């Protein structure tokens, strides 16, 4: 999504670089369901829509899907070993879940941009709240009573208010 944001910033000038920029994206590390639905999404800027119609990019996505389809970690990104990717977990982000959580929230361009803008306003002190997704102390998708109490707080943080 960050590459799409960069392309979109000056889309007419950067349009010719779309394949070159997205060549550095490691699609096989994107969660399987996000990757599977990526080419079907209609929201987002022109850069995203053009990327999803480019045959070279579509081929790379299909190759990544083939690699991921048989992996036990496919729903959290294709981590080939313990050192290949460590997912960050931010309790204030609506689409962050631990690798053990069964809740799924698809990452969309609009969610990504909203969270990124919120992070820019949150300041550096917020970094202390981030954890690795494998941290056993994370209370991801807590019991309903806890969730009802803190749901408005989470939205408040996410909106940056």
Share of the chain above pLDDT 70, in %: 74
* Interior angle at CA 113, CA 144 and CA 104, nearest 5: 35
- d(CA 46, CA 40) in angstroms, rounded, equals 14
Predicted local confidence at residue 127, as pLDDT: 85
Paired with 89 in beta bridges are: 131
Predicted local confidence at residue 156, as pLDDT: 43
If asked whether residues 2 and 68 sit together in one domain, one would say yes
If asked whether residues 68 and 108 sit together in one domain, one would say no
Higher pLDDT, 25 or 36: 25
Task: Say yes or no to pLDDT of 15 above 80.
Answer: yes
If asked whether residues 100 and 146 sit together in one domain, one would say yes
pTM of the model: 0.67
Higher pLDDT, 79 or 112: 112
If asked whether residues 107 and 148 sit together in one domain, one would say yes
If asked whether residues 74 and 109 sit together in one domain, one would say no
Task: Give the lowest-confidence range in 44-48, 54-58, 143-147.
Answer: 143-147
Q: Write out the chain in H/E/C secondary structure.
A: CHHHHHHHHCHHHHHHHHHHHHCCCCHHHCCHHHHHHHCCCCCCCHHHHHHCCCHHHHHHHHHHHHHHCCCCCHHHCCCCCCCCCCCEECCCCCCCCCCCCCCCCCCCHHHHHHHHHHHHHHCHHHHHHCEECCCCCCCCCCCHHHHHHHHHHHHHHHHCC
- d(CA 51, CA 109) in angstroms, rounded, equals 13
* Interior angle at CA 112, CA 81 and CA 21, nearest 5: 70
Task: Say yes or no to pLDDT of 100 above 70.
Answer: no
Task: Say yes or no to pLDDT of 99 above 70.
Answer: no
Task: Say yes or no to pLDDT of 4 above 50.
Answer: yes
Structural domain containing residue 116: 86-161
Predicted local confidence at residue 160, as pLDDT: 43
Predicted local confidence at residue 73, as pLDDT: 62
Query: Two tokens at 119?
Result: 């992070």
Residues 18-29, mean pLDDT to the nearest whole number: 91
CB atoms inside a 10 Å sphere around CB 42: 7
If asked whether residues 23 and 76 sit together in one domain, one would say yes
What would the pLDDT profile of 77-98 be if each residue is shown by its tens digit? Answer: 555 554 456 777 888 887 777 7
């Amino acid at each position: 999504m960050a590459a799409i944001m960069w392309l979109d910033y000056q889309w007419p000038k950067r349009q010719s670089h779309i394949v070159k920029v997205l060549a550095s994206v490691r699609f096989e590390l994107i969660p399987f369901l996000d990757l599977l639905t990526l080419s079907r999404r209609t929201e987002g800027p022109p850069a995203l829509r053009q990327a999803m119609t480019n045959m070279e990019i579509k081929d790379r996505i299909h190759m990544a899907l083939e690699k991921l389809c048989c992996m036990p970690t496919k729903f959290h990104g294709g981590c080939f070993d313990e050192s290949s990717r460590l997912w960050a977990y931010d309790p204030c982000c609506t689409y962050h879940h631990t690798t053990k959580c069964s809740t799924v929230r698809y990452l969309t361009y609009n969610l990504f941009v909203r969270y990124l803008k919120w992070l820019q306003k949150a300041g550096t002190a917020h970094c202390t709240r981030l954890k690795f997704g494998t941290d056993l102390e994370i209370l991801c998708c807590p019991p309903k009573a806890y969730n009802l109490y803190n749901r408005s707080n989470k939205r408040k943080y996410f909106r940056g208010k």
